Structure 1
């Protein structure tokens, strides 16, 4: 289980996709845990933000040299968070 804080950002400053960037140390540990990743290098995870828990995948970002985590609209609304907010995350890799 990983716990960290990250800032919510919107994909290319347009549209509806919002993400969190995983810290480098978390990315390094995930790379060690899961050496053979699924399509596009994604890794299945369970995420908790506030009272919301959901399953999704983290995806590698070559541009950022780390994984990024999509945060769906329903979670953003339920937790009252938006672009630029600092968010506390619990993340568990599904092996």
Structure 2
């Protein structure tokens, strides 16, 4: 299962330094319906591409947003020149399917 979308990068105010992109609702709904192994915090393993950078990580459910959030580490933000509030083109491949 693969999704491509554009969404803004945002910083989590509760813990400075953590940046995320929120998945679109349709992608989150599809992921939530998957029969997959239980993982900590409801996480789902994914492979992500932003620009020329690809890495493996997990997306995490966010009940307040009704979606999943993708953490974007500093090395990726620096390599791709993205900052808080920038729109980010993301491709996610779900590995827990």
- TM-score tier after normalising by the smaller chain length: over 0.9
Where does 1:23-42 land on structure 2 (aligned, <5 Å)?
Answer: 23-34=24-35, 36-42=37-43
User: Match of 1:75?
Assistant: 76
- Cα distance in 1 for residues equivalent to 2:63 and 2:47: 22
User: Match of 2:21?
Assistant: 20
- Cα distance in 2 for residues equivalent to 1:64 and 1:81: 22
Distance 1:91 1:14, change over 3 A: same
Q: Secondary structure at the match of 2:26?
A: helix
TM-score normalised by structure 1 residue count: 0.93
Deviation at 1:14, TM superposition (A): 5.8
RMSD between aligned alpha carbons?
A: 1.4
Residue segments in structure 2 that go unaligned for 5+ positions in a row: none
Residue segments in structure 1 that go unaligned for 5+ positions in a row: none
Alignment: residue pair count: 95
Which structure 1 residue ranges, 4+ long, deviate > 6 Å from structure 2?
none
Higher helix proportion, which one? 1
Q: Secondary structure at the match of 1:81?
A: coil
